[in-house]
Structure 1
Amino acid sequence: MEIDRILLFGDSLTQFSFDSDRCGWGAYLQNAFVRRLDVVQRGYGGYNSEHGKHMLKPILESILPPKTRTRLVVIFFGANDAATNFQGIPVEHYKQNLLDMVQTIRKCDAETHVLLISPPPIHEGLWEKHMIKQGGTLNRHVERTRLFRDTCLEAGREAGVPVLDMWKVFFQDSAEYNADSAKRLLLDGLHFTSKANRLLGKAVLETIAKQFPEMNPETMKWQMPYWKDIDNKALPESLFR
């Protein structure tokens, strides 16, 4: 039995989104869409949007069983793009990569919705400690990450797609950086705690309900009937009417 899907596409913040120990935000979404849509995770730790733009079309084609559609693609790149080591890229390239990925999705299916998620805030102190343990040095900075966040918002406006601003998810409507809040929400200065995952999962659901109301899981019908509505004397017909 076919069922349509949501694709989560990004870096390690997406790769870890089904981590049950951290109440992953992808798992949060899958639970909300159970028996309505499949949530498919394609996250690649360490990757940036330059990698992503080349991978997206093959990924979309690989998850397309007959008679089904990808209803929404959530693109969550930028954390590595903003790095100052070899993982990082110029901010103008990042913007163009996001625009290119939106166009790739539209060429595959003009009806597929797109949601961008901006790079989240970091905590420099925690990340520096993490990098020193790995034998490295600090390679992510709050202000550079903010620049990439602003650029993601610009790309969304240009492409005409909504952007979920992670700085508002972390710091509420002001989006004003707060080191204490960032420290509570980040395990190592970059990756999410359980609380951060729950905040993001809730924010994604709220954005979907607002921007794509036909995909609101609270109003979408289940696949297959409620068990009390099945006529067990008329199987299998009553399962599929």
Structure 2
Amino acid sequence: MVGPTRPQFVLFGSSLVQMSFSNGGWGSILSDIFARKADILLRGYNGWNSRRFLKILNEVFPKDNVVQPSLVIVYVGGNDSVGAHSSGLGPHVPLPEYIENMRKILIHLKNLSESTRVIALSCPPVHEEIACGNTSTIFSKLERTNELCQSYSEACINLCQELDVKAIDLFNAIQKRDNWMNACFKSDGIHLAEEGSKIVVKEILKVLKEADWDPCLHWKSMPTEYGEDSPYDLVAVDGKTTLNPSDWTFHREVQWD
């Protein structure tokens, strides 16, 4: 482990998490926003459902760790919501079981420490025509419908309200974007393209800014590592002072709030 020790933000979940550092994904955007403020750690497992996450929960998040994450952003449910296959195989988990599995996951994360905060992402919608229309020589036909996505999304949000966990309603947030079906997804109609990832980031930052958490985990409120002024910084135009670049954001395509 390298120092200094920073707050740890863990992204935990299925493919929406595993792919979040690819091609302008929301994990990579968060890493840029929180540079010199927090370490963004990726624990993503493509294709997993809530049953599989329960089996590794204690390994990924041991309760006896000396250092616990400051924030866990968890996404579980997209694969659970896939329609059941006639063989009994596949990732589908019935909605009542999904709710109970998520309950165990969220309670475990909440209890890691008094200062560990949790944000749950609900199931986003899909571009149904593409998601259901894809033919493949590898996979059996998948049933990915917005009716199923919505039911699992609402179940996640309702559970979070019951457990006092912050939740982000991705199902509705993404649909507020103009031309969302064509703009927000990769070519499979399921996974998020850069525009979809920007919505995820915007919603996460909104929660962090508005949450009544001490300490605040919004990037503008967090200290910048080695952020003090230095005579070794670039010299200003007046020729007498230096410019501290530690919090410069001019390189960002989006100036995040």
Q: Percent identity?
A: 23
Q: CA deviation at 1:129?
A: 3.5
Question: Please, which of 155, 159, 184 is the counterpart of residue 155 of structure 1?
Answer: 159
The CA RMSD over aligned residues, in Å, is: 2.4
For 2:218 and 2:131, how far apart are their aligned partners in 1?
A: 36
For 2:129 and 2:100, how far apart are their aligned partners in 1?
A: 31
Note the alpha carbon deviations across 1:44-99, whole angstroms, 9 max, x for none: 000011111222221123995x5x43001111011100001321101111111111
The reply to whether residue 102 of structure 1 matches residue 106 of structure 2 is yes
In structure 2, the partner of 1:169 is: 173
Would the alpha carbon gap of residues 90 and 125 (structure 1) be closer, same or farther in structure 2, given more than 3 Å must change?
same
1:45-194 matches, cutoff 5 A? 45-61=46-62, 68-84=67-83, 85=85, 86-132=90-136, 134-172=138-176, 180-187=179-186, 188-194=188-194
The reply to whether residue 203 of structure 1 matches residue 206 of structure 2 is no
CA contact (8 A) 1:117 1:163 kept: yes
For 1:160 and 1:74, how far apart are their aligned partners in 2?
A: 15
Moved more, 87-96 or 209-218: 209-218
Secondary structure of the structure 2 residue equivalent to 1:215: coil
Q: CA deviation at 1:226?
A: 3.0
For 1:63 and 1:201, how far apart are their aligned partners in 2?
A: 31
CA contact (8 A) 1:131 1:138 kept: no
Secondary structure of the structure 2 residue equivalent to 1:108: coil
For 1:16 and 1:227, how far apart are their aligned partners in 2?
A: 37
CA contact (8 A) 1:29 1:205 kept: no
Note the alpha carbon deviations across 1:125-172, whole angstroms, 9 max, x for none: 111233435453232111111110110111101111111000232123
In structure 2, the partner of 1:37 is: 38
For 2:68 and 2:38, how far apart are their aligned partners in 1?
A: 10
CA contact (8 A) 2:82 2:142 kept: no
Q: CA deviation at 1:227?
A: 5.1
Q: CA deviation at 1:208?
A: 1.3
Q: CA deviation at 1:197?
A: 1.0
TM-score (norm 2): 0.79
Would the alpha carbon gap of residues 74 and 144 (structure 1) be closer, same or farther in structure 2, given more than 3 Å must change?
same
Moved more, 52-61 or 41-50: 52-61
Q: CA deviation at 1:18?
A: 0.6
Q: Give the number of aligned pairs.
A: 222
Q: CA deviation at 1:32?
A: 1.1
> Which structure carries more helix by proportion?
1
Would the alpha carbon gap of residues 211 and 131 (structure 1) be closer, same or farther in structure 2, given more than 3 Å must change?
farther
Q: Specify every segment of 5 or more residues in structure 2 that has no aligned partner in the other structure, as ranges.
A: 233-257
For 1:138 and 1:52, how far apart are their aligned partners in 2?
A: 21
Q: CA deviation at 1:5?
A: 0.3
CA contact (8 A) 1:124 1:138 kept: no
For 1:63 and 1:192, how far apart are their aligned partners in 2?
A: 35
Note the alpha carbon deviations across 1:194-226, whole angstroms, 9 max, x for none: 111112112211211112551110121112233
Q: Specify every segment of 5 or more residues in structure 1 that has no aligned partner in the other structure, as ranges.
A: 231-241
For 1:182 and 1:138, how far apart are their aligned partners in 2?
A: 18
TM-score (norm 1): 0.84
Q: CA deviation at 1:9?
A: 0.4
CA contact (8 A) 1:9 1:74 kept: yes
In structure 1, the partner of 2:241 is: none
